[in-house]
Amino acid sequence: MKRTTLAIAITALFAGMSGSLYAQDAQTESDDKTEVMEEQDGALEEKQKADDERPAAMQGSGYPRSSDDTGDEEDDPNNLMSHQIRDIEGKSVVNQQDEEIGEILRIVEHKASGDLYAVISIGGIWGIGDDEVALPLENIEMQDDQLVTNTTYGSDEIKASAEKYDKENYSQIDNNMTLNQAQQHPN
């Protein structure tokens, strides 16, 4: 009888201890989730702030995305995000009125916002006297194997309203990746 009473007491003691440990673990997990959510909210606010600082003419509605998850977007030649960066670099960009804006020199990632930008050479002759501007990639679409901006601005208006390219604000991206991979890859 003493053994049974002792066994019950020991079991009760362990049950009480494990219950408090479980409650402590649950509280720690809850605190961790709260901290992660606060970090995500802060990052979202920073991205919104960076978006708000862009000139109005250069703000877009986001990266082109397919509404389904079937993977068909990888086969769509008009889905810019499925193209490899090296295939985009060197291509000419035109506006909605089919006027040439310039040539894409490279694709970069904005260090603060994480958005992808196309560095476009505007004007000049053979790279002499040209201006390099950073145009958000979300403002460019692939239409029938041609890169088209989502504006009617000509090269002078884009040069005046787009952000001048300053390599201190951007990181280089491996041009062997697709734009989708670059968008999802932390640099």
Is the whole-model pTM more than 0.85? Answer: no
Which pLDDT tens digit goes with each residue over 48-100?
Answer: 555 555 444 444 434 443 334 444 445 667 788 889 999 999 999 999 999 99
Question: What's the one-letter identity of residue 74?
Answer: E
How far apart are the C-alpha atoms of 62 and 24, rounded to whole Å?
42
Q: Which helix (H) or strand (E) holds 14?
A: helix 2-53
The first and second tokens of residue 174, run together, are 């491996």
CB-CB contact of 47 with 151 (8 Å): no
CA distance 56 to 52: 8
In percent, the amount of the chain with pLDDT more than 70 equals 57
CA 73/CA 4 separation, integer angstroms: 68
pLDDT in tens, 125-163: 766 778 889 999 999 999 888 999 988 888 888 888 888
Domain borders along the chain are 56-184
The CATH code of domain 56-184 reads: 2.30.30.240
